[in-house]
Amino acid sequence: MTTTTAQAAELAEPPGKGEAAIKTEGLRKTYKSSRGNVEAVRGIDLDIPAGEFFGLLGPNGAGKSTTIGMLTTLVAPTGGRAWVAGHDVVAGPVAVKRRIGVVTQNNTLDMQLTVAENLQFRSRFFGLPARVAARRADQLIDAFGLRDRRNAMADQLSGGQARRLLIARALVHQPDVLFLDEPTAGLDPQTRVNLWDILKVLHDQGQTILLTTHYMEEAEALCDRIAVVDHGRVLAEGTLEELKDNAGAVTVVTVRFEGALPADFAERTGLSAHPSVDRAEIEGDQVRVFSTDPEGVLGEVISLGTAQGLNVRDAAQLKPSLETVFLTLTGREYRE
């Protein structure tokens, strides 16, 4: 799914705009408070070409929303620089806002307006005359399957409907970059898949999208490229295949025993020396083995443990995936 040079050329934006839809250099945000400073984002570098579907993947609290906040001008960076659609987010926030559509994590629909009015007024905020705005609103309502809810107040929508309206509203002015902050958080599986389909169609039309998510499968299903973030830093970045390759395309074998393991379990039993074992970690009652050649490893770990008089409680084998990438990068379980 890599973007080839030919595609990149084809996707080139109108003159006056940079190659990159989003570019950041050492972007940083520290929240100061009386209880001490919180480093939400600690220097993030991104280079996202136009037309790409890019994902920021990380657990809650990784700094994804703060990053989106800075890129959409709602959070002031405390260090580094960022450009969106060729405009500096600090020096030219209005120029940036003209060219972006944002779906925030929270439901920011105007609850005092109807579905149609939400779209009409947003269109007018972006300079469309009232009649054009009304037609654009109807077009969006039809496309997003909200015809039945057209005159409902925004606070009467279901979670899925509200999310669709939020996305529709972000598209009224044909933004160069669409930002989606956790767009499917809290939605049921069916609604989530429907939203994915919408996003895929938008992407196929060349829409540049930056999405944050803490769902691994969402990043895998949608994104051309993914940056794995945690504690305000990018741990790894690339296509799904690149990420798996760079993390060694490892399989992670985890075995839990009944009772805590000695810290030198791997050495004492000779597990570390096993040819198929790249790395073995002991954490409480569990052994985690990273392996590029996992054939027979699970059985080996179990028999070694049993030989030590330990009973197996639970065993799992994770094939190379974003989850094993995350485990390899951070050495800890992915907490969704």
Which residues in this chain contact another protein in the complex, by CB under 8 A? 1, 7, 10-11, 13-14, 31, 50-51, 69, 72-76, 93-94, 97-98, 100, 102, 104, 106-113, 117, 121-128, 130, 132, 135-136, 138-140, 142-145, 148, 164, 171-174, 190, 194, 197-198, 200-202, 204-207
Q: Residue 152 or residue 302: which is nearer to another protein going by CB?
A: 152
The Cβ of residue 85 has, within 10 Å, a number of other Cβ atoms equal to 22
Query: What minimum distance in Å lies between the beta carbon of 303 and another protein?
Result: 44
Nearest to 239 by CA among 251, 225, 219: 225
Query: What minimum distance in Å lies between the beta carbon of 301 and another protein?
Result: 39
Q: Residue 125 or residue 260: which is nearer to another protein going by CB?
A: 125
Q: Residue 166 or residue 280: which is nearer to another protein going by CB?
A: 166
Rounded Cα gap, residues 237 and 243, in angstroms = 7
Query: What minimum distance in Å lies between the beta carbon of 12 and another protein?
Result: 9
Q: Tell me if residue 328 falls in helix, strand or coil.
A: helix
Q: Residue 54 or residue 144: which is nearer to another protein going by CB?
A: 144
Query: What minimum distance in Å lies between the beta carbon of 10 and another protein?
Result: 8
Q: Residue 58 or residue 69: which is nearer to another protein going by CB?
A: 69
Q: Residue 149 or residue 256: which is nearer to another protein going by CB?
A: 149
Q: Tell me if residue 266 falls in helix, strand or coil.
A: helix
Query: What minimum distance in Å lies between the beta carbon of 322 and another protein?
Result: 19
Query: What minimum distance in Å lies between the beta carbon of 126 and another protein?
Result: 4
Concatenating the DSSP letter of every residue in 233-265 gives: EEEEEE-HHHHHHHTT--EEEEEEESSPPPTTH
> Is 71 within 8 Å of 48 (Cβ atoms)?
no
Which secondary structure element, helix H or strand E, spans residue 287, and what is its range? strand 286-291
The Cβ of residue 92 has, within 10 Å, a number of other Cβ atoms equal to 16
The angle formed by the CA atoms of residues 285, 286 and 289, to the nearest 5 degrees, is: 160
Query: What minimum distance in Å lies between the beta carbon of 174 and another protein?
Result: 4
Q: Residue 112 or residue 303: which is nearer to another protein going by CB?
A: 112
Nearest to 72 by CA among 50, 45, 46, 102: 102
Residue matched to tokens 């798996």: 244
Query: What minimum distance in Å lies between the beta carbon of 80 and another protein?
Result: 16
Rounded Cα gap, residues 43 and 25, in angstroms = 7
Concatenating the DSSP letter of every residue in 74-114 gives: SS--SEEEEEETTEETTT-HHHHHHHEEEE-SS----TTSB
Q: Residue 81 or residue 279: which is nearer to another protein going by CB?
A: 81
